[in-house]
Structure 1
Amino acid sequence: MTSPTPLESGLRGLCPRCGAKTLFAGAASFAPSCRACGLSFASFNVGDGPAAFLTLGVGAAVTAMAILFELAVHPPFWLHLILWIPITAGAVLGSLRVAKGMLLALEYRNAAREGRIVEEAARDEQP
């Protein structure tokens, strides 16, 4: 049995260890653990990273599209408001689940844990 790629984990909600479809309990909330292999998802900390990266990436893309739209069509301001605000919110919220799943899978794959850099630095300083 091979582990799924981080992209597969994010897109399909697969456990990064066993590949069972048990990663999410809600729309963008992780399950406490995998029901198939027992991997605890609570030990991973994806934090606000996915939301921040998505906001920046989607914001840049939407800004570029809004500028191009303004230069090409010259619509009234209210049209920009009713067009770009829902598109931005939908794109960020729609891709949040995928981004969170990918980041958790990458943390699992790279054995990332909090405080490891400090522990390694302290161990390296000992004679």
Structure 2
Amino acid sequence: MYGAVGAHRSPHTDLAKADPVEKGQPPLWRAALFGLCPGCGARSLFEDLAQMPQNCATCGLDFGGGSAGNRRAAFGPLLAAAVLIVIALLLDLLWQPPLWFQLLLWVPLTMASIIYAVRLARAAGVYARAASMVGTHPKDSENDQDS
């Protein structure tokens, strides 16, 4: 018999080895790229290219409003710019492409990498904040053990 009523599982299927489907917290790189909330996975981490709301519209997780005074967020774009400058200089020294090619290559690549670096830094801050709220942060677990 076939179908839902008399369906039999294949003996070759091992469900214990299958990876469990994780709901909620997406990986950091994906959260920064697509603006996914660390709590529920909804696309609510960014309102604009790099502007963050106060909280998630779906689950209500507090994002801290983007923390405008976050100095750590500046190191990502600076590092990305330094890497791009080194690559641009090497490309110019080795192949000496025309100026129009350099402009077509480096302007969009620089803009995309800087925006992604800012988003990545801000998403990392939200992830750290969410982890400390849940109690999975190392400082919180040390405090719980002392009590």
TM range, smaller chain? 0.5 to 0.7
Following TM superposition, by how much is the alpha carbon of 1:9 offset from its aligned partner in structure 2, in angstroms?
2.3
1:24-103 alignment, distance < 5 Å? 24-42=46-64, 45=67, 47-50=70-73, 52-74=74-96, 82=103, 86=107, 87-103=109-125
Q: Deviations over 1:64-101 (max 9, x none)?
A: 2123123213468x679846862434421244224322
Segments of 5+ residues of structure 2 without an aligned counterpart are 1-22, 134-138, 140-147
SS of 2:61's equivalent in the other structure is coil
Higher normalized contact order (CA 8 Å, seq sep 6+, divided by chain length): 1
- Structure 2: which amino acid aligns with 1:30? M
TM value normalised by structure 2: 0.55
TM value normalised by structure 1: 0.62
Segments of 4+ moved more than 6 angstroms: 78-81
Following TM superposition, by how much is the alpha carbon of 1:30 offset from its aligned partner in structure 2, in angstroms?
0.9
Greater helix content: 1
Residue 12 in structure 1 maps to residue 45 in structure 2 = no
Quickly say closer, same or farther: Cα 1:61–1:107, change in 2 above 3 A: same
Residue 23 in structure 1 maps to residue 63 in structure 2 = no
Following TM superposition, by how much is the alpha carbon of 1:63 offset from its aligned partner in structure 2, in angstroms?
2.3
Identity %: 27
Structure 2 distance, partners of 1:12, 1:75, is 33
Q: Which entry has the higher C-alpha Rg, 1 or 2?
A: 2
